[in-house]
């Protein structure tokens, strides 16, 4: 059996760490790596003990170099390439429908298709010095699959600049554009990612799942439809034991004890 390209670890807090681990290719998003990533995300979604997912890389220089360029130019029939490209939207949808928050720990450059992968996560923590962008156009490829995610995250003119020039932006610029939640010095990066993960894992997993699902369901809905859906979800939340426990713990000045009901 070949070594896994994606590692999975779950700690006692409910933090599931999914690590891209193919340094020989700079974590290129090959079909095999994407299939393993889909499997691990599905595992995290199905496991009720998982409270937050951290997506990271074993390579401190690059989170991922993006799509496998060799596969783009090989002789595989076009229809097979089309079918295989379904892996990208499946992963983006999986992250949206995970039922628990996801953090992209960008400890290295986040390029091309991996930029879309990061934007599909709920939160991004970046190490100082890393770069983000979609340089595909430099080798004759347009970032088709991730353009929808970029347009939903980056102001239009800047999004066009990134996709049409292939230029990269620094972590500091990504923070100014509100693409990342925090930029952290290298020596503090691992500890800060762990702090964010632990903080989120300490929240009610039930209410977090309900909230995450509501965000995914209403993200692209018209305002009236979104408000109607959210009203129903809030009414359901009022019926949970966790919301009662959270209010009681606040009043009693103690840590809440979540039951997940």
Q: Which residue stretches of the chain are H helix?
A: 31-46, 69-72, 78-84, 87-96, 113-120, 144-151, 156-165, 171-176, 189-201, 205-218, 223-238, 241-252
The H or E element containing residue 109 is strand 109-111
- Cα torsion 21, 39, 84, 112 to 10°: value is -40
Catalytic residue (one of 36, 136, 187, 255) = 136
CB-CB contact of 206 with 260 (8 Å): yes
Instruction: Find, among 188, 180, 133, the residue nearest to 159 by Cα.
Output: 133
Tell me the C-alpha distance between 2 and 33, whole Å.
12
Q: Is 136 a catalytic residue?
A: yes
Instruction: Find, among 117, 94, 89, the residue nearest to 104 by Cα.
Output: 117
Instruction: Find, among 117, 105, 106, the residue nearest to 53 by Cα.
Output: 105
Residues in the chain, total: 261
Residue 46 CB neighbours (<10 A):
9
Question: How many CA atoms, within 13 angstroms, populate the side-chain half-sphere of residue 254?
Answer: 7
By annotation, the residues acting in catalysis are 136
């Amino acid at each position: 059996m070949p070594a896994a390209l994606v590692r999975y670890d779950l700690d006692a807090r409910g933090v599931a760490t999914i690590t891209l681990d193919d340094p020989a290719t700079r974590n290129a998003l090959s079909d095999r790596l994407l299939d393993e990533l889909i499997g691990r995300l599905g595992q995290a979604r199905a496991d009720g003990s998982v409270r937050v997912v951290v997506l990271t890389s074993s390579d401190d220089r690059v989170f991922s170099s993006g799509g496998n360029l060799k596969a783009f130019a090989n002789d595989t029939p076009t229809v097979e390439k089309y079918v295989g490209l379904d892996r990208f939207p499946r992963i983006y949808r999986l992250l949206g429908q995970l039922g628990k928050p996801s953090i992209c720990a960008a400890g290295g450059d986040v390029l091309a298709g991996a930029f879309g992968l990061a934007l599909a996560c709920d939160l991004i923590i970046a190490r100082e010095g890393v770069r983000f962008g979609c340089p595909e156009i430099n080798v004759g490829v347009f970032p088709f699959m991730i353009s929808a995610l970029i347009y939903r995250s980056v102001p239009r003119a800047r999004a066009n600049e990134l996709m049409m020039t292939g230029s990269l932006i620094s972590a500091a610029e990504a923070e100014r554009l509100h693409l990342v939640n925090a930029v952290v010095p290298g020596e503090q990066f691992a500890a800060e990612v762990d702090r964010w993960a632990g903080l989120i894992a300490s929240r009610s997993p039930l209410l977090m799942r309900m909230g995450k699902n509501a965000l995914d369901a209403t993200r692209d809905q018209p305002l009236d439809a979104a408000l109607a859906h959210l009203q129903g979800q809030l009414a359901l939340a009022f019926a949970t034991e966790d919301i009662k426990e959270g209010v009681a713990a606040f009043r009693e000045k103690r840590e809440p004890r979540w039951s997940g009901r």
